[in-house]
Amino acid sequence: DEFISSPPRKTVRFGGTLTEILLKYEKGDTTDFELLKHQLSDPDIKDAQIINWLHEFRASVAYLTKELEQLVNILLKLPWLRRSREVVEEYLGFLGNLVSAQTVHLRPCLRMIVSQFVPPRITIREDDVDISDSDDDDENISENFDTCHRALQTVARYVPSTPQFLMPILVEFFPFINKSERTLECYVHNLLRVTVYLPTLRLQILELIIEKLLKLDVSTPQQDIEDAEETANNSASEEKSTEEGLFDMEEDEDRKGNKVVSASIERMAHPLAERLDILMTILFSYIKDVCHVDGKLDISNTKDLYRDLVSVFDKLILPTHASCHVQYFMFYICSFKLGLAEAFLDHLWKKLQDPNNPSVIRQTAGSYIGSFLARAKFIPVVTVKACLDLLVNWLHKYIDNQDTGANAYCDVALHGPFYSTCQAVFYTLIFRHKQLLDGNLRKGLSYLQSLNFERIVMCQLNPLKICIPSVVNLFAAITRKYQLVFCYTIIERNNRQFIPVMRSGTGGDLVQTCTNPLDSFFPFDPYILKRSKKTIDPMYQFWEELSAEDLENLKKPIKKGTSEDEDDDFLKGETPQNDGVIEIAPNSYESNTRSPVSSIGSPADCYVTYPL
């Protein structure tokens, strides 16, 4: 009964052996050839049939010339991945035989393999519209990817020139950013796997991935991400308040005692930010895995990867304005060893001081130096001081050369790198001044005094007028507190010279324009992607909010008395009582202050008095 009810095994063949069919085709008899194509294209083809055909094709690859490209394409479309182990092994053997005997078919073979780097597509019908995307529920997807990489390694073993033909195909098949997160995740993961066994492609593959990440990053401004999160949180709060009162107190208590963190908590509300978060997590994992062998840092591997990443940084990241997250791959790899962080700073320093580089690149390098020194916990004070020495000495030399010449006036177009370096120094001091003064206050103050900030602030180039006002304000408060330089007279003069501009628009609002003439930003501002930020946060220096006591200390008057009394007051951190008010909110992306919600991890808004 079982035999009768089961369908017969499909092993029937028509048209003779493969060699006979191909010879007939060469003579113009296409009947058996068309039958062969039909059998190979049968969606119900069985494993035994595939194995038999592949066995014959392996013995007849010499006949599979360019003229039989159509037949080869049908073979490449065979559903071999989701078949038995015997089919997979036979197919891999066929691929090896084919590319070694007929390299003309190398590209189609590579395209077939790379097309399998994403989950299979399924079609869902919604409101008479076909929506096609990845099948995220395929249980064998990991095993299928492993098989694809075996196939690619097989081809590369037989054809040494595989990498140069493969790279354009990898670029061509990269999914659009509107594809599902799973599709992008799988493709990027598989690209990075290729670098393990085809190391000559690593630099190009990293460039490709980071270029795509950069497009995602600049398409999702930080403010848009924060707005989306705020909207999602408000919606969740409204839903929660609607549900209140529907459950008993016991049930509520029970639910509180058994907290289950759902995956949705880690999802980004902004769809592009969600994709970027997933891909950045993969990139960070890749960097960690390459640099560590058996849990220990491998210096050789790390240096090689660092060189590749610096090359990508120079080509893609440095010329891109105001990216928020992608540049953190340099932050992360530099955290593995101090030597890497110092090498990165030295690299940026060379970019900054080289007059042959475009001004915008030099300015951006300055922004990276300041932000890196301020935010990287793994950079010790001794390195911060060494960098400050370099930067400040360069500023003084620049002033020596420019402050008395024909160009000794405030102009961003002429002195952009100078102003960017000033801002980097000011920003570093804001974040690091406590560490610079920690331990031995007198020694720390002596060091800061030796930097001679007064000459920089008072020079004809007037950096306080160009740097972001919020950074200038906090720098002024700190340097006044420690009596390093008094900036407020210059700030007031600059404010009087600044003429508000009427912007044409609805209502004719009076607004101040050009409050950020450098168009500067600090690239290592707080990282806000939920999953990948777990990698960055432990090594990241967040802004320490000013306590009420700190604010009071900034307002306390210096007592009248002798110079010794004044010195004592100074060492206690007291500053004179003042009459005017300035706002302190050093923010990287905007010159104006932002709300505490939108400046998480950055200095909060506060007010400090100063003399008019």
For the chain, domain boundaries: 1-121+140-162
Dump pLDDT digits (tens) for 204-223. Answer: 999 999 999 999 999 998 88
Element (H, E) at 365: helix 359-375
**Token couple for 568:** 């004592």
pLDDT above 60: residue 154? yes
Residue 607, beta-bridge partner list: 583
Question: What confidence category does residue 393 fall into, taking pLDDT thresholds of 50, 70 and 90?
Answer: very high
Average pLDDT over residues 87-97: 94
Dump pLDDT digits (tens) for 109-120. Answer: 999 999 999 998
SS (H, E, C) 481-505: HCCCCCCHHHHHHHHHHCCCEECCC
Greater confidence, 597 or 51? 51
Q: Is residue 94 exposed (0-12), middle (13-18) or buried (19+ Cβ within 10 Å)?
A: buried
Average pLDDT, the chain: 81
Q: Is residue 371 exposed (0-12), middle (13-18) or buried (19+ Cβ within 10 Å)?
A: buried
pLDDT above 60: residue 595? no
Question: What confidence category does residue 172 fall into, taking pLDDT thresholds of 50, 70 and 90?
Answer: very high
Average pLDDT over residues 531-549: 84
| Confidence (pLDDT) at 599 | 39
Determine contact, residues 190/149, Cβ cutoff 8 Å: yes
Greater confidence, 500 or 372? 372
| Confidence (pLDDT) at 408 | 72
Side-chain-side CA neighbours of residue 486 (13 Å): 8
Percentage of the chain beyond pLDDT 70 is 75
pLDDT above 60: residue 194? yes
